[in-house]
Structure 1
Amino acid sequence: MKKNFFISLLLISFFSYSQDTYNTYKIGFKAGVLSEMGKVSGGGFPVLNIDLSKQLTPGLSISGDLMFGWSEGEHKNSTYSNNYNYDVNFQAISANLVLNLLNIGDISRENRKLGLNIKAGLGFLAINGDGKDNGENLVIEQGLFSSKSVFIPTSLGLKYKVADNLQLITSYDLMLPIGPGLDGMERNVNRESKYDVGFQIMNLGVSYNFGKNKSSMEWINPLDVISTKVNVFEQEVTSLTIDSDGDGVADKFDQDNNTPVGVSVDGSGKALDVDSDGIPDYKDIDPFTAPGVSVDSNGRELDDDQDGVPNSMDEEPNSPAGCTVNFQGRQIVGKGAFLPTVYFDVSSSEVSYSNYQRLATVASVLKANPGYKLRVIGFADSDGSTDKNYKLGLQRANAVIESLVNTFGIDLDRMIADSQGENNLLANEEQKMSFNSNSDGVKGTKTFKSLNRRVQFIIE
């Protein structure tokens, strides 16, 4: 049912489309021999025919025909007398509908070179000549648009395609005059039919399809074309449902067709990159770096002197290795020095891999200053009870101390665990940050609670 609907829609658009895609105009030249079929018989007379046609559809065209010829004949027992003869020239014009029989229905056109058509229409016949009726001279004259000049042209034709736009043609034409016909005889005497029996022509000729295109519409099967278009359309529709990486964006529109399972993507299928640092969020250890800063392959802002203060905030980007600095990256001596903060996931006290670079800085400071002792203070966000948050802060402080001892060999006696729970929040949790959640400019928001889930250090 769906396919039939598509075919119907495409058939409607095909014929307007094909006017520009295929040649639709054709001119033909034919030469033939005429034989009179009335009571005054005659035959073997030359006829020339020129026609210009316009293809409306692969199966239907209209044509205008111009015909010239000569005919003569004799009847020795005529209605008028015992002897009647005529000798005339004639010209005819007609307008016709032409039906291409082999283009009706779903008949294969592949490599087909033969065409079969029938033609019928309405025309006007002009006659000029003379005759004799039992020795008496007669003038036979009929104007082109006189009341008796109407005739009905019919034809059965066969054509053979020689080239894309060139055909050989042969046809049998039957012309049915309404008036006297070529012999000039009225048929209403003695109650005989007033309509002339007509005359017939056998033709041979050529026709040429002209235009800017290579192919002609009369040799095209519209159903073949439409069927091809439907198949392409169905393939396009099918492709819209294919999503190889399962990210919810069809392959046809997916600019990254190998997104890992479970990764959030934007409308183009690319993994989200909230801070637009070029590192997708699922790989970004620090997904909220400031706009425009340089980051490493893990999404962390670069810190060239490894003092724990990123380059964009470091006022002394060449601090000596292991020295103590403040929050601006300036070297200081003694208490009040700044050490990097360690951050945690929601309700977690596990030290993530991304924090070990910060702990490395802390360890370097402690090793460079053997007299330093640290108070390691854990914090939590405001979610949950006060008691629970205090315990979570203490767990985080102890987890950091354990990492410094086990990974960097810092003496346990140099560190004291403490907790402030949800007290002394660093960031305003009511504040929200807006960002582009995808390449289409759709906005998203995040709170700053993650900045309160931390461990800080105080040198004592």
Structure 2
Amino acid sequence: MNYSTLKKGLAASFVALLGVTTLASAQDATTSSSAKVFGGRGQYRTWSLGVNAGVLSPFIAIGGTNDFTNADVNLGYGISLRKQLGHAFGLEGNVFRGKISGTNKDGGPGALPGLSSFETELGYSADLRGVVNVATVDFLRRENSVNFFVTAGYGVAAYRAALNGADPKDLGETFGEDGDKKYIKEAYIPVGAGVKFKVSERVSFNLGYTMHFVDADNLDGVWAKATTKDKFSYGYAGLEFSLGSKSKPNLDWVNPLALMYDELKDPSLRNEVEALKTRVSAVEKSVEDLKKDSDGDGVADQFDKCPGTPAGTAVDGSGCPLPKMETAALNTGNLTGFETINFEFNSSVLKTESYPTLDKLSSVLRENGGKVAVNGYASSEGTAAYNLKLSKDRANSVKTYLVNSGVNASQVVTKGHGEANPIASNDTEEGRIQNRRVETSRN
């Protein structure tokens, strides 16, 4: 593989690799949880048009051999059009022109005999580059205002050179196999770097420097060494104008790290967090109010229709005192009139130790008639919906036992209350054991 083919292949591979890598990153950002910062190119302005002017020179910053010892300062100017594909990468087309010249006025061992100067008319230079935003001096901000970038790509230059004071414009059409071409056309690889400053939402000011490695040794009109290649540089300043809807921000200035600093830097989000904390506190207070039982009768204040019941008073499911005759009837056989049946964790199966209490309650109901309220409860493990169903199942287990023992089904009224009305703290296992219960009372 010759040198020319190798350079072209490397340039094409570099641009393609940058493009594929950045497009993949953009796609990931679009579908991932970081979409709050980069939600797809459709949310941003992605096209920009630039104009620039600067200095063309036959020398480059990294040195190398030259056929002439001194460089002249000449004007170059051009335009650019860029498509931003992601927050860190874009493709840019560039066209520029100008004049490149140099002399051998300082002489020296490197100067070629008989050559005093050259002047090259750069008819045009056109290339396609990958532009990578590599850093920003204020990356902690949601939107950057200073970006550093590097570029590389592939292009073609059309030029003609004249020696020893001649004007290249006087050469006529002298190039090509038949001498009928106005310019020599050669490929080159541009490699550069720069910095851009955000002037406004639409305009940025750019400073850049690009080295151009030409795939030929005739840029200065001299074929001095078959193994060397000519090069030239372009240092420039310019303005870049963002195109598209003014309602959209420019993707070129998007900072993907902003999401990490939202809570510190975004007052609206901080206010939302504080508001959410307030709402959570209000909910927690409401829950505590639901559990509150001021008179200690086992019925929460919210459901207590008879608040302030004296301590030790037997009450029904509404918190109201039971009639004395019913209390007396239930006291028959050592029944208190307000019996509690406990259950195992996550179970509605009656424990054998509850059978004697239920047998006595069954006897009172069969002998004295009347109705009994059977209220099921659960501890706080699990969801509220599940615990409500579990409490209903526990109440129905008691009803089934009573009905099977001879009590009429119409005498037993069941209700599930879920986690409501705890009689002990759900923060301890001892308290949760007490809350897994069914309470019975005469209606």
TM-score (norm 1): 0.49
> In structure 1, what is the Cα distance between the partners aligned to 2:174 and 2:229?
20
Q: CA deviation at 1:16?
A: 3.9
Matches within 5 A, 1:49-448: 49-71=78-100, 85=118, 87-103=120-136, 107-109=139-141, 113-127=145-159, 129=160, 131=162, 139-140=174-175, 149-189=186-226, 193-196=227-230, 198-212=231-245, 213=247, 215-228=249-262, 251=280, 254=283, 257=286, 259-260=288-289, 262-263=291-292, 282-285=301-304, 349=314, 377-378=325-326, 387-389=333-335, 421-422=364-365, 423-427=367-371, 443=389, 445=392, 446=395
- Distance 1:425-1:186 versus aligned 2 partners, 3 A rule: farther
- Distance 1:49-1:442 versus aligned 2 partners, 3 A rule: farther
Give the 3-state SS of the residue equivalent to 1:260 in structure 2. helix
- Distance 1:118-1:429 versus aligned 2 partners, 3 A rule: closer
Structure 1: stretches of 5+ with no match in the other structure: 1-8, 245-249, 265-279, 287-297, 300-343, 360-375, 394-419, 456-460
Query: What is the aligned residue count?
Result: 315
Give the 3-state SS of the residue equivalent to 2:216 in structure 1. coil
> In structure 1, what is the Cα distance between the partners aligned to 2:53 and 2:280?
62
| Matched-pair contact (CA < 8 Å) for 1:381–1:453 | no
Task: Report the residue type matching 1:39 in the other structure.
Answer: D
Q: CA deviation at 1:87?
A: 4.7
* % identical equivalent positions: 16
> In structure 2, what is the Cα distance between the partners aligned to 1:241 and 1:112?
30
Q: CA deviation at 1:228?
A: 1.8
Q: CA deviation at 1:177?
A: 0.8
Match of residue 29, structure 1, among 48, 51, 56: 51
Task: Report the residue type matching 1:426 in the other structure.
Answer: G
CA RMSD of aligned residues (A): 5.8
- Distance 1:454-1:34 versus aligned 2 partners, 3 A rule: closer
> In structure 2, what is the Cα distance between the partners aligned to 1:99 and 1:22?
18
CA deviation map 1:42-87 (0-9, x unaligned) = 6444432222223455444432222233446667998696577555
Task: Report the residue type matching 1:155 in the other structure.
Answer: G
- Distance 1:285-1:88 versus aligned 2 partners, 3 A rule: closer
- The equivalent residue for 1:268 is none
| Matched-pair contact (CA < 8 Å) for 2:176–2:184 | no
> In structure 1, what is the Cα distance between the partners aligned to 2:174 and 2:262?
63
- The equivalent residue for 1:326 is none
Q: CA deviation at 1:29?
A: 1.0
Give the 3-state SS of the residue equivalent to 2:289 in structure 1. coil
- Residue 19 (1) aligns with residue 41 (2): yes
Structure 2: stretches of 5+ with no match in the other structure: 1-30, 60-65, 294-298, 339-362, 377-382, 400-410, 415-439
Q: CA deviation at 1:181?
A: 4.8
Give the 3-state SS of the residue equivalent to 2:67 in structure 1. coil
Give the number of the structure whose residues are more often helix, by fraction.
2
> In structure 2, what is the Cα distance between the partners aligned to 1:350 and 1:171?
88
Who wins on radius of gyration, i.e. which is larger? 1
TM-score (norm 2): 0.51
| Matched-pair contact (CA < 8 Å) for 1:42–1:72 | yes
- Distance 1:62-1:109 versus aligned 2 partners, 3 A rule: farther
Q: CA deviation at 1:165?
A: 2.7
